[in-house]
């Protein structure tokens, strides 16, 4: 059998105009315009809980701080920005807990955003362009700048993603009812729409995944193996991974599909296309922190420098003077002004020299001697929020991994409880497997390949977060959903397209509409601020089922 025939062997997949102009029904365009208007209203009404700034939480403030510092100071140090106060309330309206602290290029200790700097660097370029065109300033015209920025970097790309995914549904010959349901779900039923009014990494990552999916569809399903689709796929998958670390699994899955079917184009175009984003990611990190590794990789002690063998005492009983004298004998310059502080992790102390601005880590080794280490825990500094004493609510972490898994999947942060429409995606995966062309070669069934790649990517990504240690089992912090899975949305939508095509009876459509209604409610309940607890969690707290602290 010809390969092209097998590609179209799935029931009801033949599109008489696969590469032509859009034939989406007018009702779909109407839903699109309605959801666009709703999102525009949300963006134009963006404000904090106190109304003083257009920021919602520590998360987006952290990125805004980097943008302001980079645009005004020309560096990534946000010490001055986080101290900005409202003239009336005197509140630090730019302050964020998403901070790291380390020695900067000037030899002084500085605060930096804990977020990877690539995305804020790009956003800074957008801001500088807006400032050049309009004369508006991020300090004097904060609200106007924020609204324009959110339209440019969030809303317009979100519209493009909506259109791409609807075109995929059209090319899969989804019926009018299915198209309308999908258009409404895409426009108002996913948490990507919820996060359209705040700076975040999840929406850009999801948009990049959607672009890569579009390119893969051209190559695998439509058999359009032009070189630029491989380039687009490489750039998009790498940008997704730069914003969501587990998206490396999608980068690998896409590359795996392409290398099997198109090895020459994959090696000569796709693989090199990964490099620009990778270079930009590590270069921006080096410019920000003076190191190639991102901030989240610095959460413990560095390499051991020496052992203070002459101090035969417990570290908790040592004085700064004793430690300084021993360090000097080891050839480590340290002033007598050095201060000793208990670290955030058990058994670890920090010795800080205010004169040289150096920090050393100290802990007892296996031989009951004091070991001296490079200080690499950028999240540990005086008054840091990221200590067991200061962290609150979900940030403390869920001690029971089993409970954590349940709540991430079907509980108060549940992927399927908050967005039960994803059950249609499960139906789609089953449908693709059921309708596979038995007896034919696997490589001639591109939809099956895509489904398996999406399934593997989803399992690896979600499994990565479910397997995290206690301090990371926090559901993504205070957020209206399990935000670490948001970037998978375009992939699950593609499966949902096939799930909707499996539905034949009115009772099942009724169930789908009920799933859609719950998903719409979950995504729109946090209308003003996506950085709030999910409605299920709030309800469980109200009923006393779970603690509020």
Secondary structure class of 318 (helix, strand, coil): coil
Structure tokens at 217: 């569809």
Give the whole-angstrom CA distance, residue 386 versus residue 428. 41
Question: What integer pLDDT is reported at residue 316 of this predicted model?
Answer: 85
Structure confidence at residue 232 (pLDDT): 98
Among the listed residues 272, 273, 270, the one whose alpha carbon sits nearest the alpha carbon of residue 256:
270
The parts of the chain modelled with pLDDT lower than 50 are 1-14, 16
What does the alpha-carbon distance between residue 99 and residue 331 come to, in Å, rounded to a whole number? 32
pLDDT at 385: 95
Q: How far apart are CA 416 and CA 418, in angstroms?
A: 6
Burial label, 467 (beta-carbon count in 10 A; 0-12, 13-18, 19+): exposed
pLDDT number for residue 311:
84
Question: Residue 15: what pLDDT?
Answer: 52
The neighbour count for residue 439, using CB atoms within 10 Å, is 6
Neighbours of 108 (CB within 10 A): 10
Q: How far is residue 130 CA from its own chain's centroid? A: 25
pLDDT tens sequence across 346-375: 999 999 999 999 999 999 988 888 999 999
The pLDDT score that the predictor gives to residue 368 is 87
Rounded CA separation 42/126 (Å): 21
Mean pLDDT of the chain: 93
Residue 336 contacts residue 329 (beta carbons within 8 Å): no
Report residue 88 as tokens: 């009336």
pLDDT of residue 313: 86
Q: Look at residue 309 in the predicted model and tell me its pLDDT.
A: 85
Q: Which residues face 232 on adjacent strands?
A: none
pLDDT in tens, 127-151: 999 999 999 999 999 999 999 999 9
């Amino acid at each position: 059998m010809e390969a092209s025939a097998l590609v179209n062997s799935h029931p009801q997949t033949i599109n008489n105009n696969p590469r032509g102009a859009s034939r989406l029904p007018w009702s779909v365009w109407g839903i699109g315009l309605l959801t666009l208007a709703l999102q525009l209203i949300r963006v134009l009404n963006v404000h904090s809980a106190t109304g003083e700034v257009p920021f919602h939480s520590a998360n987006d403030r952290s990125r805004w701080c980097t943008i302001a510092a980079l645009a005004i100071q020309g560096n990534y140090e946000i010490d001055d920005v986080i101290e900005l106060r409202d003239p009336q309330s005197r509140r630090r309206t730019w302050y964020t807990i998403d901070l790291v602290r380390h020695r900067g290029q000037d030899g002084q200790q500085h605060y930096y955003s804990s977020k990877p700097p690539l995305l804020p660097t790009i956003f800074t370029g957008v801001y500088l362009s807006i400032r050049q065109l309009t004369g508006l300033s991020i300090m004097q015209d904060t609200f106007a700048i924020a609204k324009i920025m959110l339209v440019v970097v969030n809303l317009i790309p979100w519209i493009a993603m909506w259109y791409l995914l609807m075109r995929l549904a059209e090319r899969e010959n989804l019926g009018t009812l299915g198209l309308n349901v999908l258009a409404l779900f895409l426009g108002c039923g996913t948490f990507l729409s919820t996060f359209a009014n705040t700076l975040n990494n999840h929406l850009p990552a999801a948009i990049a995944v959607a672009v890569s999916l579009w390119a893969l569809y051209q190559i695998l399903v439509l058999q359009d193996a032009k070189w630029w689709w491989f380039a687009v796929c490489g750039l998009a998958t790498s940008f997704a991974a730069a914003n969501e670390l587990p998206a490396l699994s999608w980068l690998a899955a896409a590359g795996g599909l392409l290398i099997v079917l198109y090895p020459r184009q994959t090696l000569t175009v796709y693989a090199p296309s990964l490099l620009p984003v990778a270079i930009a990611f590590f270069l921006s990190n080096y410019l920000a922190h003076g190191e190639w590794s991102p901030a989240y990789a610095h959460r413990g002690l560095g390499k051991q420098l020496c052992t203070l063998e002459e101090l035969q005492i417990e570290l908790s009983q040592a004085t700064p003077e004793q430690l300084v004298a021993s360090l000097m004998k080891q050839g480590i310059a340290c002033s007598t002004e050095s201060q000793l502080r208990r670290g955030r992790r058990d058994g670890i102390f920090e010795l800080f020299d205010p004169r040289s601005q150096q920090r050393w880590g100290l802990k007892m080794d296996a031989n009951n001697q004091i070991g001296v280490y490079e200080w690499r825990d950028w999240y540990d500094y005086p008054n840091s929020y990221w200590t067991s004493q200061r962290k609150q609510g979900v940030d403390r972490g869920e001690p029971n991994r089993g409970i954590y898994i349940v709540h991430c999947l079907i509980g108060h942060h549940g992927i399927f409880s908050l967005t039960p429409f994803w059950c249609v995606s499960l139906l789609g995966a089953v449908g693709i497997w059921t309708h596979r062309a038995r007896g034919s070669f696997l490589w001639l069934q591109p939809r099956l390949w895509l489904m398996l790649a999406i399934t593997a990517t989803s399992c690896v990504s979600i499994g990565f977060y479910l397997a995290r240690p206690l301090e990371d089992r926090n559901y993504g912090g205070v957020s209206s959903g399990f935000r670490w899975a948001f970037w998978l949305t375009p992939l699950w939508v593609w499966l949902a397209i096939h799930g909707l095509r499996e539905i034949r009876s009115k009772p099942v459509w009724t169930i789908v509409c009920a799933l859609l209604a719950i998903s719409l409610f979950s995504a729109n309940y946090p209308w003003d601020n996506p950085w709030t607890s999910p409605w299920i969690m709030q309800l469980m707290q109200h009923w006393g089922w779970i603690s509020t602290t």
